[in-house]
Amino acid sequence: ATKDEAKKHRYRQKISEYMTRAEDIKKHIEKEKQDGKYHKQIRIEENATGFGYEKLFQEYLTEIVSEVWVEDPYIRHVHQASRYSLYNFLRFCEMLVKGPCKVKTIHLLTSYDEGNGRSQQISGLEEIQQSLRNYGVTLNIAFSSSIHDREIRFNNGWMIKIGRGLDYFKKPQGRFSIGYCDFDLRPCHETTVDVFHTKHTKKM
């Protein structure tokens, strides 16, 4: 709004400097990503919305991703104490099928449901396995009694660790409540998401 030409010139110069600096920072971050020296942490607050799987993962699902590893001890029966873990895993698989990556193989490592839910857990996973086969995707399922960590890895080197695994969404208020179908609108439990690149993680 100023009519002072000298001030206008200084403002334009400052704006240009800030834009150049922002571009340099962006290039630096991109270079660190390429070098595998990038660590991003996302804090999901209690009852926060807008954190569907696409929001968390699609940035790292580049076109070269063809293989995915999911380690989560609680991919279990849908009626287990308000958990919807099997549905959550199915939703995650749907995101992979939609692309833009061309996933051919998904490896799932989880633990057996304790008690009466084991047969439903296995039949549910087998149904997901068969359904994925119709889309040309192989689901390899393995069980471990000692698994505790929760992590997801892509064969382009990215690794995502979520404190609660895939099960960070709260139980919907009802079958016809907003957020039941669209996970972006579903309130979340508090959790932390850490993103690393395997080039920058030490193998023990």
Same domain assignment for residues 138 and 72: yes
Copy the structure tokens of residue 88: 């959550």
Within a domain: 139 = yes
Which amino acid, one-letter code, is at 149?
D
Within a domain: 17 = yes
Q: pLDDT at residue 194 above 50?
A: yes
Under DSSP, is residue 52 helix (H, G, I), strand (E, B) or coil? coil
Q: Which domain holds residue 24?
A: 1-35
Arithmetic mean of pLDDT, 87-99: 93
Percent of the chain with pLDDT over 70: 87
Q: What is the CATH number of the domain that holds 91?
A: 3.30.870.30
In which band, very low, low, confident or very high, does the pLDDT at 57 lie, cut at 50, 70 and 90?
A: very high
Residues 6+ apart with CB under 8 A from 196: 38, 39, 158, 159, 160, 161
In which band, very low, low, confident or very high, does the pLDDT at 81 lie, cut at 50, 70 and 90?
A: very low
Within a domain: 105 = yes
Same domain assignment for residues 93 and 113: yes
In which band, very low, low, confident or very high, does the pLDDT at 200 lie, cut at 50, 70 and 90?
A: low
Q: Which of 123, 121, 45, 127 is nearest to 93 (CA)?
A: 127
Spatial separation of the C-alpha atoms in residues 15 and 99, rounded to whole Å: 38
Residue 141 confidence (pLDDT): 97
Under DSSP, is residue 151 helix (H, G, I), strand (E, B) or coil? strand
Within a domain: 179 = yes
pLDDT digits 0-9 by tens, 33-49: 665 677 889 999 999 99
Same domain assignment for residues 25 and 124: no
The structural domain count of the chain equals 2
Which amino acid, one-letter code, is at 128?
I
Strand partners, 151: 71, 161
Same domain assignment for residues 89 and 70: yes
Q: Of 25-29, 81-85, 90-94, give the lowest mean pLDDT range.
A: 81-85
Q: pLDDT at residue 60 above 50?
A: yes
